[in-house]
Amino acid sequence: MREKSNCFDENINPKCFNLLTEDEWKQIGRHQTRMQYKKGEHLARQGSPSAVIIFILEGLVKQFIESETSRPFNTAILQPGDFIGLSTLFGDTPFITSAMALQPVEACLISSVILRDVITKNNTLALKLIERHLSTERHLIDIVARLNYKQMPGKLAQTLLYLNQEHFAEKDLFSLLTRNDLADFAAISSINVVKLLHQFEDEGIIKLNGRKITVTDKEALHSIAKNG
């Protein structure tokens, strides 16, 4: 059994950490802290120095890029099992994005210095964490492509498809997101979000019920996301 001081248990445990030896588990266990965050509280702030890697144990987190000249841009919804700040393991000391709790969140803060030391000795774990980091990089590249080449209907359609992914199905995600949040995912104004949502509903593509959005014609939404 792992020490009680360890953040992880059988229910919430990054699969890549199954590659740790017992000594490595103990090493990480001595340099981690379990934290609780209230709704609306920052877990990470873009540009702030980071000495930890954050692993989400409970709750949903909105990840976004902040700008001094324009509104923030949402990049992802993070859930239990996701990391924040993996880039600090590979040379980026400050957080490259901000992260805010959409609901009460519990997370494990792991010393990046200690985890970096562990992966220098455990090459298999290092490769798994690199894969995680590259997956995040690919997601950000996809977002840039969406911003540069899609019109407003395509941007919103892509956003709705992202938020309607199967792994969000039981999260009641839309109850946690405002129309402004959707606008910040799609990089369009909230006024245009409202107009397009009603247009999509009139076309039978979605169904609106307060904040809740149900996709009724996913094929049509995919078509708009691809061609819009």
Question: Is residue 79 in a domain?
Answer: yes
pLDDT above 70: residue 4:
no
Range of the domain at 208: 151-227
116 and 34 in a single domain? The answer is: yes
Supply the pTM of this predicted model: 0.86
Last residue of a domain, which of 109, 128, 147?
147
pLDDT band with cut points at 50, 70 and 90 for residue 197: very high
Q: What is the DSSP string of 146-215?
A: HHHH--HHHHHHHHHHHHT-GGGTTTTGGGG--HHHHHHHHTS-HHHHHHHHHHHHHTTSEEEETTEEEE
133 and 156 in a single domain? The answer is: no
Average pLDDT of the residues of the chain: 87
How many angstroms separate the CA atoms of 38 and 107, rounded? 11
Output the pLDDT for position 1: 31
Q: What percent of the chain has pLDDT over 70?
A: 92
Question: pLDDT tens, 168-188?
Answer: 888 889 999 999 999 999 999
Total domains, the chain: 2
pLDDT band with cut points at 50, 70 and 90 for residue 92: low
Last residue of a domain, which of 107, 128, 147?
147
pLDDT band with cut points at 50, 70 and 90 for residue 210: very high
57 and 96 in a single domain? The answer is: yes
63 and 119 in a single domain? The answer is: yes
Question: pLDDT tens, 115-138?
Answer: 889 888 888 888 888 888 888 778
